């Protein structure tokens, strides 16, 4: 230890609520041996204090991460003896009975864990995430028909929408940590009745999720269509049907980038405003903005015409680009998040009150939002139906967009429902829990149906049939499949150190989709010589 060490200036690691990283903040500690106390403490005691603070910070972060694990899916997680006591994990089940439509998910899914771990050192990531059961990582994207429990919402978010900015003081004793955890649980139990009153009744709550998914899904379809026109042969001519740069590449890039923002870094903060909003943005908008089936169909079309190099190149290049897009989105969002946290800490009380009022945390506000979303979906569906009929009667390609908007929401709902399979595993023993079965099923199923419809369109060979088929492909199947969630799950596996599982998941998605599509579409094209 340096001779100039001043025990009154001990660098104490401070973990701000929701900051997501172990920022070191230097602050002045009033120790007994400091300027305002006696000389009863020596350098050795000060050193022990620093070491204890470091350990307790690590324990606090570890418990914060592990509190989100679903014990029905995760193996028993035991901390090393040096890390203190073990706390059991709260369970979060899903009632599949018809009599109950209320839904729950773990308070934080794997994307939140990845967010917290992203800025940590590799050693700390391995320590905290290395032994997490794969079933949790399988839920990094869509969460099926389960709704987030906000037990840890204030601790996991930036606190941008909360007045409580109190700092956690790291203390090197397991007893105090245990007391803190116990107080949080008791506080949660005492407020459970109030939380129920502040939410919509079960059936209305379920309807609210469906309406949010529908509205944001249609917005995702609109955005995908506009990006196709902007970057396609009509305007910029950067993408096309005869190129490795397929038409849906820009939307897949943008959706993956935004998934890093709203599906990883800012997801907890959006959830702090509204559970319905975070599902609408991530599962509804971003899941519909990106499409795996459209990407797979373009590669099938290239291979059917003999452009195998372009087809394989499109698969490899497309996968690399969307992976990097999500990673870049996480990195940029992390920097923005730091800036917002600094701004929030310096903002006035009036600004904090305004942010607090943005939360949809009362039953009245939930009703208002539900009515507003019902009006929006009603207008969008009516407009889409009228325009689709008019365009279809005139047999113009403009009908594709409006047909897509009509059938897009059912695709989103189907994918949201299938996402409940993520982390469940196969069979009674639940093997392969690390594999996101729901997302995998949605992508492969959509790819096969799209190939089958394309074959039917070739066989019928009429303009009207072609428009209807393209509308279903663009809307329903484009929303049923997703790239943003797929890439987020791959990213979560990589961040947890499971590189082999991430690669296996990619291969299990791409190879069957392309292989079955070749049998369903390319083979008939070769045999019957369709144009």
Q: Tell me, yes or no, whether 5 lies in a domain.
A: no
Work out the pLDDT band at 130, boundaries 50, 70, 90: very low
Is 40 in the same domain as 127? yes
Kindly state whether residue 88 falls inside one of the protein's structural domains: no
pLDDT at 174: 36
pLDDT band, residue 175 (cuts 50/70/90):
very low
Q: What is the mean pLDDT of residues 52-64?
A: 44
Out of 173, 191, 209, pick the residue that ends a domain.
191
Q: What DSSP string runs through 219-231? A: HHHHHHHHHHHHH
Specify the higher pLDDT residue, 126 or 376. Answer: 376
Whether residues 173 and 289 fall in one domain: no
pLDDT for 127 beyond 90? no
In which residue are the tokens 């997302």 written? 439
> How many domains in the chain?
2
In a domain, 417, yes or no: yes
Q: What are the structure tokens assigned to 227, written together?
A: 């990006």
Q: How far apart are CA 496 and CA 323, in angstroms?
A: 16
Q: Please determine, for residue 136, whether its predicted confidence score (pLDDT) is greater than 90.
A: no
Answer yes or no: pTM beyond 0.85: no
Question: Within this chain, do residues 166 and 51 fall inside the same structural domain, yes or no?
Answer: yes
Note whether 501 and 443 are same-domain residues.
Answer: yes
Structural domain span for residue 33: 11-69+99-191
How confident is the model over 112-125, as pLDDT tens digits?
Answer: 555 555 544 444 44
Whether 344 maps to a domain, the answer reads yes
201 versus 96: the higher-pLDDT residue is 201
3 state DSSP class of 26: strand
Least confidently predicted of 229-238, 302-311, 424-433 = 424-433
Do 226 and 374 lie in a common domain?
Answer: yes
Residue-wise pLDDT for 318-336, tens only, equals 999 999 999 999 999 999 9
132 domain-assigned: yes
Confirm if 26 and 9 have CB atoms less than 8 A apart: yes
Q: For residues 168 and 14, is the Cβ–Cβ distance under 8 A?
A: yes
- pLDDT tens sequence across 375-429: 999 999 999 999 999 999 999 999 999 999 999 999 999 999 999 999 888 888 8
Asked if the structure places residue 406 within a domain, the reply is yes
β-strands 11-13, 24-26: how paired? Answer: antiparallel
Residue where a domain terminates, one of 159, 176, 191: 191
Residues 428 and 451 in one domain: yes
User: How many H helices and E strands in the chain?
Assistant: 23, 2
Residue 439: which of 486, 499, 479 has the closest Cα?
486
My answer on whether 173 and 298 are in the same domain is no
d(CA 201, CA 222): 32
Q: Cβ distance 415 to 286 under 8 Å?
A: no
Domain boundary among 191, 225, 241: 191
Tell me the pLDDT band of 352, cut-offs 50, 70 and 90: confident
Judge if 437 and 471 occupy the same domain. yes
CB 510 within 8 A of CB 311: no
**390 in a structural domain:** yes
Question: H-helix or E-strand containing 508?
Answer: helix 499-517
Res 7 pLDDT > 70: no
Question: Which residue do the tokens 């070739």 mark?
Answer: 458
What proportion of the chain, given as a percentage, has pLDDT over 90? 55
Q: Is the pLDDT of residue 75 over 80?
A: no
Q: Are residues 221 and 161 in the same domain?
A: no
Q: SS3 of 102, please?
A: coil
Over residues 110-137, the mean pLDDT reads: 49
289 shares its domain with 231: yes
β partners of residue 105: 148
**Is 74 inside a domain boundary?**
no
Tally of CB atoms within 10 A around 506: 17
Per-residue pLDDT for 514 more than 50?
yes
172 & 206 share domain: no
Tokens of 279: 């599902």
Pair (347, 489) in one structural domain: yes
- Mean pLDDT estimate for the chain: 76
Alpha helices in 76-132 (DSSP H): 110-118, 122-129
């Amino acid at each position: 230890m340096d001779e100039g060490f001043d025990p009154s200036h001990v660098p104490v690691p401070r973990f701000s609520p929701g900051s997501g990283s172990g920022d070191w903040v230097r602050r002045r500690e009033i120790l007994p041996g400091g300027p305002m106390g006696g000389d009863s403490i020596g350098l050795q005691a000060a050193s022990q204090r620093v070491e204890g603070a470091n350990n307790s910070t690590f324990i606090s972060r570890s418990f914060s991460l592990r509190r989100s694990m679903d014990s029905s899916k995760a193996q028993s997680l035991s901390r090393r003896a040096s890390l203190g006591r073990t706390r059991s994990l709260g369970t979060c089940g899903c009632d599949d009975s018809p009599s109950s439509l209320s839904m729950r998910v773990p308070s934080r899914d794997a994307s939140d864990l990845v967010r917290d771990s992203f800025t940590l050192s590799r050693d700390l990531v391995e320590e905290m995430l290395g032994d997490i059961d794969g079933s949790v990582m399988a839920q990094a994207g869509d969460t099926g028909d389960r709704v987030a429990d906000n037990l840890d919402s204030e601790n996991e978010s930036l606190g941008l929408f909360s007045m409580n900015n109190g700092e956690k003081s790291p203390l090197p004793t397991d007893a105090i940590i245990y007391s803190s955890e116990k107080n949080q649980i008791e506080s949660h139990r005492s407020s459970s009745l109030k939380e129920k009153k502040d939410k919509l009744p079960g059936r209305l709550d379920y309807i609210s999720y469906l309406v949010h998914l529908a509205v944001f899904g249609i917005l995702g379809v609109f955005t995908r269509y506009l990006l196709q026109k902007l970057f396609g042969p009509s305007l910029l001519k950067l993408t096309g049907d005869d190129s490795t740069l397929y038409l849906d590449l820009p939307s897949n890039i943008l959706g993956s980038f935004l998934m890093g923002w709203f599906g990883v870094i800012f997801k907890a903060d959006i959830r702090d405003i509204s559970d319905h909003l975070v599902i609408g943005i991530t599962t509804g908008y971003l899941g519909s903005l990106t499409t795996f089936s459209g990407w797979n169909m373009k590669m099938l079309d290239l291979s059917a015409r003999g452009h195998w190099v372009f087809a394989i190149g499109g698969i490899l290049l497309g996968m690399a680009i969307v992976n990097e897009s999500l990673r870049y989105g996480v990195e940029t969002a992390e920097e923005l998040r730091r800036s917002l946290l600094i701004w929030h800490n310096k903002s006035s009380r009036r600004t904090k009150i305004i942010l607090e009022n943005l939360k949809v945390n009362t039953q009245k506000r939930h009703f208002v939002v539900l009515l507003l979303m019902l009006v929006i979906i009603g207008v969008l569906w009516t407009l889409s139906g009228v325009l689709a009929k008019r365009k279809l009667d005139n047999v113009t390609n403009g009908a594709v967009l409006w047909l897509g908007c009509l059938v897009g929401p059912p695709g989103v709902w189907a994918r949201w429902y299938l996402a409940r399979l993520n982390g469940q595993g196969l069979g009674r023993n639940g093997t392969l829990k690390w594999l996101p079965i729901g997302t995998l099923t949605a992508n492969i199923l959509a790819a096969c149906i799209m190939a089958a419809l394309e074959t039917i369109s070739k066989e019928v060979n009429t303009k009207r049939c072609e428009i209807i088929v393209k509308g279903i492909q663009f809307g329903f199947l484009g929303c049923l499949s997703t790239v943003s969630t797929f890439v987020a799950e791959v990213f979560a596996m990589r961040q947890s150190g499971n590189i082999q599982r991430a690669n296996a998941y990619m291969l299990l998605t791409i190879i069957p989709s392309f292989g079955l599509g070749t049998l369903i579409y390319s083979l008939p094209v070769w045999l019957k010589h369709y144009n």
